[in-house]
Amino acid sequence: MKAIPKKAEFIIYPLDKLNFNLWQGLESKKYNVSVEKQNSKEKINVYFTPKFFGDPMTAYDKRVYLAVCALYDAGNERITAGMIYRTMGGEGYPNQKKYENLKQSIEKMAVVRISVDNEQEAIKYKYRSFCVTNDYLLPCSSVEKIELKGGKSDYSIHIFEKPVLMRYAEEHKQITTYTPEQFKMPLSITEMNCALDDYFRYRIARASGNSVKILLKTLFEYCNISDRRIKDKAKKRFDTFLKFYAEVKLIQGYTIQTDAKEEYISISL
């Protein structure tokens, strides 16, 4: 019997340092990631070793990854590109170029290997030991082309288990969740828009008070934007993102300061 596709009811967004760092162009080597328990100033090393076999991970890849995890959580093992695209926040069906972008992202993530050793952290904070060696970032089968009604085509992947870094974030309870409405992309799903959206979401979710101040210098560094013209292009998109976050109740309001020596965005939560 053919399985009925299930829509994601929520999207889990990880807030731990391993997930935060992975998508920022890391190299294939061992990293000592300093972590600390809330309200503790003592830092403990978690050893994190990614192995890449192609281009580095990007913010676009991260959004694909989060969509796949959300669909798996909804009870889907066979997941199509159309399902992923809509869960990412896209509308309708992706065109051929968008299909290819999705396919390339999935194939790139499917060969990445992840090793994690949190023995020091587990002993210090009495956490569950989380030691994995060469687990796949995205444990799935190869892409399979399928035919749809009306002469259209799609492709699907078979997810074998919940991806390792999502398990790590959930076991550490370092996550936030979004409804599909809150996770929509208010602009087209491009790398720059994914990076801007990702940084805004991360800072908003990690805030501990009633407001958060985002320096544009730090934002641009995270998004790997150095060209002045591209910075100006990005600035024109801030209002669209922030108004959307207000509409879906992620923030209360915001102000943007771009004419002073220190350019920043102040967000009230």
Which domains are delineated in the chain? 11-178 (no CATH), 191-268 (1.10.10)
**Residue 1 scores a pLDDT above 50:** no
Instruction: Indicate the range of 111-115, 154-158, 184-188 predicted with least confidence.
Output: 154-158
Instruction: Indicate the range of 12-16, 58-62, 80-84, 230-234 predicted with least confidence.
Output: 80-84
pLDDT digits (tens, 9 = 90+) for 141-173: 877 776 655 555 578 889 999 999 999 999 999
pTM, two decimals, is 0.93
Once rounded to an integer, what is the mean pLDDT over residues 234-252? Answer: 97
Cα–Cα dist 74/5, whole Å: 9
Backbone angles phi, psi at 60, to 5 degrees: -65, -45
CA dihedral for 47, 115, 77, 194, sign (positive or negative): positive
